[in-house]
Structures are given as structure tokens and as C-alpha cells.
Amino acid sequence: QVQLQQWGAGLLKSSETLSLTCAVYGGSFSGYFWGWIRQPPGKGLEWIGDIDHTGTANYNPSLKSRVTISVDTSKTQFSLKLSSVTAADTAVYYCARSRVSGVDNWGQGTLVTVSS
């Protein structure tokens, strides 16, 4: 049974860098994409990007200039960095396991609030 456990700072100021990490417990780390998805309070879901075990990453063009997703296969962890945050980046951030069929495992979510 795969479990995703995520952590990171929940309160940031404008212009700071958001940093979250997700650890994968159980199951294989290869053969999947490991992604980040966010959800502003009361709103819908937005795909931020994902990465595979080789380090091949895909980013949403709307965020690409500010996003870096990295992977540490030795620790079966992957991380998200989003620079120059503003209030518009306030959201619940989820880490997730993505297969060809869809996102079949999610982290517990982290509410990140950006204050001015």
C-alpha cells in the first residue's frame, strides 16, 4: 500500500519561495510520475507539474518560470519549489502519484498561505 507523506512551510510572505517535500512509502518509485497539484480555497484543481524517477520533469507553462520539481530516488522523495510567491499562490498543495490511468494516490495536502 503506497502512502505519500508531505511537509513544508505553511505560511509565507510575498516574494518568498515555497518549498514542499513528499516522501513515498511502499510500492515502486519507478514507473510512475510524481506530481504536484494545487487547489485554492473553495476553487478547483491545477496541475503544477510532475517528475519521474530519472528526473524528467514536466511543468505547467503558466508556472514554469517559477517552478522546480526535483527527485531524490535514494530517499524516495520528491520536492516542489515555487519562487516569488504572491497571494494568488495561496492554496492547498497536494503531492500525488500519477499513472497513465490517472492520479491514484494523493498526499494529505498542505495549506500554504501567502501574506503580504
Partner 1 sequence: EIVLTQSPATLSLSPGERATLSCRASQSVSRYLAWYRQKPGQAPRLLIYDASNRATGIPARFSGSGSGTDFTLTISSLEPEDFAVYYCQQRSNWPLTFGGGTKVEIK
Nearer CB in complex with partner 1: 102/116: 102
Instruction: State in angstroms the smallest separation of the CB of 13 from partner 1.
Output: 26
Least CB distance from residue 104 to partner 1, whole Å?
Answer: 5
CA 37 to CA 101: how far, in whole Å? 16
Measured in degrees and rounded to the nearest 5, phi and psi for residue 89 equal -90, 0
Q: How far is the CB of 103 from partner 1 (least distance, A)?
A: 6
* 60 vs 83, beta carbon nearer partner 1: 60
CB-nearer residue toward partner 1: 16 or 68: 68
Q: Please report, as ranges, the residues that interact with partner 1 according to CB under 8 A.
A: 44-47, 58-62, 94, 96, 100-104, 106-109
Nearest approach, Cβ of 106 to partner 1 (angstroms)? Answer: 4
How far apart (Å, rounded) are the C-alpha atoms in residues 96 and 5? 10
Q: How many helices (H) and strands (E) does the chain have?
A: 0, 11
Which residues are CB-contacts of 45 (< 8 A; sequence separation ≥ 6)?
Answer: 37, 38, 39
Closest CB to partner 1 among 16 and 66? 66
Q: Do 44 and 57 touch, CB atoms closer than 8 A?
A: no
